[in-house]
A and B are shown apart, each in its own frame.
Chain A
């Protein structure tokens, strides 16, 4: 068969972008046991706004780096892609570095359009909130029997 090129009659194939790739194959979906002492959980966003992101990190105490990370997201495709990309980005990072991640980094990598910038901001909030949760947990120490009874 000879091949000639004509403008497609049917549908132009959409070039798979990073966003669609992360949306179609989201990395690190799932949950970590939130009561573990070395797990920090960040839950940001609101259902009324159409975006909720839950990010969980497990921190290696000795090296102070993120050893495991999981997410669950309720939101548009960009929100899911942002959180999926974020989990890939922060795994193995030290807490200091992870706390310094800016939303612009995520938006730039995924080529998010202006109307979807809030998705990357939510991802930034999620990792910050997860780190904060871990730090309060480890500062407070394990829950005592007395505290629980109160």
Chain B
């Protein structure tokens, strides 16, 4: 077996030891057989990582199966381990994943349509990451030995992939823990560095972390303008021009909105900011890898990117910071001066490399993905809007198709989510899904509280299938009908009563 194969096997087995340990004593033999396989683990470093992981799994599976049969005298496929799984599913990691996937198809796991909250990691990304969890563990900032050099080299490659995806120079990419940190870093960093400028412009529909960073700066004495949006979710450029003052340091407008998916006119905003001489920051977490992004063409000075929204790992993100003309920021985190002194702290090589690989794949497949997502979204959107009393939130044209936000009048969003237990959905952003407040983004569009309470966001991504969309369409149609039958508002509307004429008792 090659060294890579060993590394991958070690990693895979390590993960398996997780669920094999708390067994009941009744099944001692089987348990021993399963745990025994976890014993002869090995540690080895590897230089080559080109070996195909599939071969490794096949080999793994053969060895595990014969070991199991020797110990227990039973075929793994005959041993039920609960949850409709046989021990066969545990014989190799990929086999287990496949087994789970079939169960998902049977509907015991909900269909995932919440791609704005997070995306599943592409298996190719995991393949790229695994060696850096085991053999290649060098600190990328160690300049004195080969361990450090090899990791650093891989990180530079990853940085290049990310830069290429957004049309930047690799030196302009600073790794952070995620888009939230990047947003904090950009907004607070620019404001605190250029102390003479005390004003920031942002919009009302920004992500919570942008709004909260601004609120924080407000407490420090900065002035913030929260730009209202039009009823289609887009900002008014003329109004933006009016709001920019001589002491404005930064304009922060997100590229793709996380709740309604509208794309702001980036090129125009960039041009305006350049003309006025203010920095332009954009939260590109929902845009990068999904729509073509070009920081040069858009004149973007700072951009926040997230790893887990582009089918990469969670816990990693990046901040693009323009070098020409140079944007300077006051770093949030001080320390060893890594990342050009803008974000100290040792990088996490597996995450960085996974993020880089995710961006490489995104760059390669962006056209294909976009076409596919558009086709699926059109199918879903036209199906949903064909139902009576449904409206699409946000502009119909300037939008990323993978985010479909629809209001179902006279049905409460939360109860619809509960009725759609077989579909993983959200009524707004994941950050605010715990509170009962209607979405502030929809409120900013000027929609009534009623319609904000009855909206649901459908997120479509790379791994969504046509069959899933059809299932969801049918499920939504059925459940909305049931809930409307149960809704007193629907009854009143059917009777021809105008709901606005009723005096409601407020709570």
Contacts and interface: CB of A to CB of B under 8 A. Distances in A.
| Most chain A CB atoms below 10 A, which of B100, B412, B453, B504 | B412
B96 A9 contact: yes
| Most chain A CB atoms below 10 A, which of B418, B448, B449, B490 | B418
A31 to B, nearest CB: 7
A52 B507 CA distance: 11
A118 B486 CA distance: 19
Q: Chain A binding site: helix, strand, loop or mixed by DSSP? A: mixed
B458 interface: no
Nearest to A46: B504
Contacts of B488: 43, 52-54, 72-74
Given A5-B23, A8-B82, A74 B505 contact: no
Interface stretch (B26-34, B165-173, B272-280): B26-34
A47 B24 contact: no
A10 B499 contact: no
Interface string B45-88: 00000000000000000000000000000100011111101000
A29 B30 contact: no
A57 to B, nearest CB: 15
Nearest to A8: B83
Given A4-B27, A10-B103, A75 B412 contact: yes
Contact of A11 (B89, B96, B108, B412): B108
Chain B interface residue bracket vs A: 35 or more
Interface string A94-136: 0000000000000000000001001001100100000000000
A137 to B, nearest CB: 19
Contacts of B487: 52, 72-74
A10 B84 CA distance: 10
Nearest to A20: B418
Contacts of B411: 74
A7 B449 CA distance: 43
Contacts of A73: 486-488
B507 A51 contact: yes
Nearest to A53: B488
B320 interface: no
B414 A50 contact: yes
B260 to A, nearest CB: 19
A53 B24 CA distance: 49
Contact of A115 (B103, B109, B415, B436): B436
Interface residues of A, number: 40
B221 interface: no
A49 B506 contact: yes
Contact of A48 (B26, B491, B504): B504
Contacts of B415: 23, 75-77, 79-80
A4 B24 contact: yes
B85 A10 contact: yes
Contacts of A7: 19, 22
Shortest beta-carbon contacts, A-B, top 5: A46-B504, A4-B27, A54-B488, A48-B449, A76-B414
23 contacts: A1-B79, A2-B27, A4-B26, A6-B20, A6-B81, A29-B486, A43-B488, A43-B502, A46-B507, A47-B449, A47-B450, A47-B504, A48-B450, A50-B414, A50-B438, A74-B486, A74-B489, A74-B490, A75-B414, A77-B414, A77-B418, A80-B415, A118-B507
Interface of B: 19-20, 22-24, 26-27, 30-31, 74, 78-83, 85, 89, 96, 100, 103, 108-109, 410-412, 414-415, 418, 436, 438, 448-450, 453, 485-491, 499, 502, 504-507
